[in-house]
Amino acid sequence: MSAIDQLFVNLRQQGRKAFMPFITAGDPHLEFTSHLLTQLNRLGCHLAEVGIPYSDPIADGPVIQASYTRALGKHVKLREIFDCVERLKPQLTMPLVTMVSYASIHRVGLEHYVESAMQAGFSGAIVPDLLVEESGPLAAICRQRDFSLIQLVTPTTPPERAVRIAESSSGFLYFVSVTGITGERTELPAGLVDRVDWLRQRTPLPICIGFGISRPEHVRLLAPVADGLIVGSAIVRHLTDAASHPAEASAKIEQLVSELMAAL
């Protein structure tokens, strides 16, 4: 059982839902990434997603793309990200996962990526551009090592394909709330709750909802049907000025996370 499996077992026993923030590694620098992870852990977040900067992300909106671009401009490297997180291991109680392009995994080798990520303290990986038809080799490696391979289901995923994705995933299933890219939205689409409920009847995996969640009312709407809620762009937009005003950015992120967690 992975740390993510144990997390959701514990939360279900307590009748609670997971709050899962996303941050970009290396924006504005890895020292601030370290600070944010310890801050999010202190605030009681249940799991954190760490974005591995990539030049051509397929699902990320302008806020996260800009954040990735800033991090790449500082020449942040995968090994440096892993080293940064490994130094934090003794301080963190929440599991961590990478949000990473399959190209980055393939470049270093599937087994090497999983082993290096586990050594650093990661419990899983979200791979948004990995097709379910091509996920077998990585899924097998992840199963052998109790390293969660988290895959995405979108509103346009055909039902039979959604079930197949769930069957090849582990840890939890990432349910994309909207059609399109990440980013804050004023409202979430009608029918979202029904689609999640349909999928829940077909997989034992926890279902966590992401994309577009930025307001307490979104949290209150989705918490009853989800096992966890993922918040990315609403947090990452505060990294824009973190290089010049780190204390202010940190305070804004803390306020936002506290407000959203209070609605959970």
A 10 A CB-CB count for 210 gives 25
Q: Rounded CA gap, 245 and 41, in Å?
A: 21
Q: Is 108 helix (H, G, I), strand (E, B) or coil?
A: helix
Contact 152, 184 (CB under 8 A): no
Catalytic residues: 49, 60
Total Cβ atoms within 10 A of residue 20: 26
CA distance 72 to 26: 8
Cα 230 to Cα 208: distance, rounded to the nearest angstrom: 7
- SS3 annotation, 162-183: HHHHHHHCCCCEEEECCCCCCC
- Among the listed residues 14, 68, 65, 73, the one whose alpha carbon sits nearest the alpha carbon of residue 44: 14
Burial environment of residue 194 by CB neighbours within 10 A (0 to 12, 13 to 18, 19 or more): exposed
